[in-house]
């Protein structure tokens, strides 16, 4: 575990000390959130060429290429008021092996969240997970308590509806707010996951999901983009047909994530869902609050 620029690098099976975590939390503003980032398939912290701490979670990624980016920068986690935690787990090998290990990694993620919650009982804790990291996040909710997690942004999740349904039956899952980020450009990857694990049923990207605490949006669908523009975001019209990583490479959608993470009180999910669905929806004034988006 390393610390630098309000950033923890945490690895599966390696829990940071209470002293290190408390030191980082004490440097935050009073209400500054903790944002835990989870990578997807093919990363492994034990291999330098596949280490997410070097390639994805770093403020200065040690790689080049079209898919190279700094996830904490994309999420706007560079300022001192936020603690960014990159949680690395072993996601190499076959998809079946990585899928099994995601559930094991969830125990370590839940332990980390409980540790933070014990040291900072009222501080917001959010999760941003890409691809197979979504399974880690959803499984972790099964081991947590009511209110332990605030918002969970699942970017093109390699997870199944049954996993979401199971998480919704847990205390932590019922109080967390879930953002399901789907993409037409990710259809091939969703199909491959379903073909590899057909007995798990439908993936989270095969159709609209409806839960009171869930925002479901297709980020390359015109209705979604128009709805987000109505909310005040500047959106672009992507023309990429096949891409598994656009959900965190696109600056416009990352600006939406930033607002969801930094200003949850002014970005109510039912309001955004109503704009995306383009259907009139009565919103209680005390729920919408003074919504100023972005």
The residue extents of the domains of the chain are 2-288
32 pLDDT higher than 90: no
pTM of the model: 0.92
Mean pLDDT across the stretch 117-131?
96
Does CATH number 3.40.50.1820 belong to domain 2-288? yes
Q: Of the ranges 33-42, 127-136, 203-212, which one carries the lowest mean pLDDT score?
A: 203-212
2 pLDDT higher than 70: no
DSSP letter string over the chain? -EE-SSEEEEETTBPPPHHHHHHHHHTS-TT--EEEEE--TT--TTSGGG-HHHHTSSSS-S--STT---HHHHTT--STT-EEEEEE----S-HHHHHHHHHHHHHHHHHHHHHHHHH-TTS-EEEEEETTHHHHHHHHHTTS-TTS--EEEEES---BHHHHHHHTTSHHHHHSEEEEEE-GGGHHHHHHHHHHSGGG--BTTSS----TTEEEEETTSHHHHHHHHHTT--------SS-SSHHHH-HHHHHHHHHHHH-GGGS-HHHHHHHHHT------HHHH-S----
**pLDDT for the residue 282:** 42
174 pLDDT higher than 60: yes
Banded model confidence at residue 278, pLDDT cuts 50, 70, 90: confident
**pLDDT tens digits along 73-123:** 999 998 778 999 999 999 999 999 999 999 999 999 999 999 999 999 999
Banded model confidence at residue 223, pLDDT cuts 50, 70, 90: very high
60 pLDDT higher than 50: yes
Banded model confidence at residue 283, pLDDT cuts 50, 70, 90: very low
Percentage of the chain modeled with pLDDT above 70: 92
Which residues face 178 on adjacent strands? 152, 214
Banded model confidence at residue 279, pLDDT cuts 50, 70, 90: low
Mean pLDDT across the stretch 249-278?
95
58 pLDDT higher than 80: yes
């Amino acid at each position: 575990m390393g610390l630098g620029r309000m950033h923890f690098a945490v690895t599966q099976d390696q829990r940071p000390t209470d002293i290190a975590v408390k030191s980082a939390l004490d440097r935050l503003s009073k209400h500054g959130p903790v944002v835990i980032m989870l990578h997807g398939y093919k990363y492994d912290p034990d291999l330098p060429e596949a280490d997410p701490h070097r390639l994805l979670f770093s403020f200065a990624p040690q790689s080049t290429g079209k898919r190279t980016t700094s996830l904490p920068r994309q999420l706007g986690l560079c300022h001192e008021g936020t603690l960014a935690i990159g949680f690395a787990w072993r996601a190499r090998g076959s998809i079946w092996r990585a899928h099994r290990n995601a559930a094991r990694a969830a125990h370590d993620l839940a332990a980390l969240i409980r540790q933070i919650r014990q040291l900072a009982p009222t501080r917001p804790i959010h999760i941003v997970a890409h691809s197979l990291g979504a399974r880690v996040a959803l499984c972790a909710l099964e081991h947590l308590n009511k209110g332990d997690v605030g918002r969970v942004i699942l970017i093109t999740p390699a997870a199944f509806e049954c996993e979401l349904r199971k998480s919704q039956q847990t205390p932590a899952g019922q109080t967390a707010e879930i953002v399901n980020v789907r993409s037409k450009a990710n259809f091939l990857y969703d199909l491959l996951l379903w073909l590899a694990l057909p007995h798990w049923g439908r993936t989270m990207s095969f159709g609209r999901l409806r839960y009171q605490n869930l925002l479901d949006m297709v980020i390359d669908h015109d209705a979604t983009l128009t709805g987000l523009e109505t909310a005040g975001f500047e959106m672009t019209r992507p023309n990429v047909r096949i891409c598994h990583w656009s959900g965190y490479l696109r600056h416009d959608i990352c600006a939406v994530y930033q607002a969801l993470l930094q200003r949850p009180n002014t970005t109510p999910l039912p309001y955004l869902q109503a704009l995306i669905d383009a259907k009139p929806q009565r919103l209680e004034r005390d729920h919408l609050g003074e919504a100023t988006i972005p």
